[in-house]
């Protein structure tokens, strides 16, 4: 639909990324015989899983890299 994103990539690291996914709960669901599709559907009922090519297509990097502030040493 217009104005809606076509792709959302979720990236988390560490503990507690605030997306509503409980890794311990997911582990329990997996131990109960649920596969990743069922586990993701449990936590993200409105999400749609689609195939995505891997590795992603190469992207051309910009010719000029913006200036970055000097890092402290």
Q: How far apart (Å, rounded) are the C-alpha atoms in residues 52 and 34?
A: 22
pLDDT at 72 over 60: no
Q: How far apart (Å, rounded) are the C-alpha atoms in residues 21 and 28?
A: 13
DSSP 8-class letter at 3 = T
Q: Is the dihedral of CA 32, 37, 41, 43 positive or negative?
A: positive
Structure confidence at residue 47 (pLDDT): 87
Structure confidence at residue 28 (pLDDT): 94
What does the pLDDT look like over 13-62, one tens digit per residue?
555 556 678 888 999 999 999 999 999 999 888 888 888 777 777 777 66
Structure confidence at residue 38 (pLDDT): 94
- Confidence band for 73, pLDDT divided at 50, 70 and 90: very low
């Amino acid at each position: 639909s217009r104005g809606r994103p076509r792709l959302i990539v979720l990236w988390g690291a560490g503990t507690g990324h605030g997306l509503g996914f409980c890794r311990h709960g997911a582990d329990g669901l997996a131990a109960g015989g649920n596969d990743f599709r069922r586990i993701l559907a449990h936590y993200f009922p409105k999400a749609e899983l689609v195939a995505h090519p891997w590795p992603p297509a190469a992207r051309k990097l910009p010719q000029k890299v913006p200036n970055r502030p000097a890092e402290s040493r």
